[in-house]
Structure 1
Amino acid sequence: MHEAVPRSFEEVPHALLYQRVRDIASGVEGELMAVVREDVSDDPVRERWVRLAYVRGPSGREISTAVANIQAV
């Protein structure tokens, strides 16, 4: 049986936090709620860190995307 590996993350400051943005990958527009640096590796020995942006769309549901995909609206 495979056990879930706890993910490590830390919040990162961003100039567009709590402002209206667009995710260019999906076209979703909403409020930038958080930017985090997260270890997405499934191997506890070899870490793989990425910066993710969390955008809350009009439905209230949040999506995650690469920080590079975020544009101010």
Structure 2
Amino acid sequence: MSECYEYVPHRLLHRRVRDIASGTEGVLMAVINENVSDTGLERWMELAYIRGACGREFTTAATNVEPAPDQPKTAAGRRDERSA
């Protein structure tokens, strides 16, 4: 099994992001193309490393990363949309 990996550029690097799989938000620290296989066959995947509010980093597929909303919608904002 190869232990090689490479950093991949990402437009949201060092920005606040949301993992759509878990709903967790944090800062995107890195995106790395890694061999995620634990068998003899290589399986490469782009993993996003996100640092959560607690300071711990977790990984998710890079395709699961989206910009975090700046601020949540308020109840008043949702009411206005329904009345339109």
Q: What TM-score range do you get, normalising by the shorter chain?
A: 0.7 to 0.9
Higher relative contact order structure (alpha carbons within 8 Å, sequence separation ≥ 6): 1
- The structure in which a higher percent of residues are helix is 2
Offset from partner CA, 1:14-53 (integer Å, 9 cap, x none) = 0000000000111110100000000112234x21100000
Partner of 1:10 in structure 2? Answer: 6
What are the ranges of 5 or more consecutive residues in structure 1 without an aligned counterpart?
Answer: none
Q: Are 2:18 and 1:28 equivalent residues in the alignment?
A: no
Whose radius of gyration is greater, 1 or 2? 2
Q: TM-score, normalised by structure 1?
A: 0.84
RMSD of aligned Cα (Å): 1.4
Relative to its length, the structure with more strand (as a share) is 1
Q: Distance in 2 between matches of 1:34 and 1:51?
A: 10
User: How far, CA to CA, are the matches of 1:22 and 1:10 in structure 2?
Assistant: 23
Distance 1:47 1:6, change over 3 A: closer
Name stretches of at least 5 consecutive residues in structure 2 with no aligned partner: 69-84
How many residue pairs get matched? 68
Q: Does 1:67 align with 2:62?
A: yes
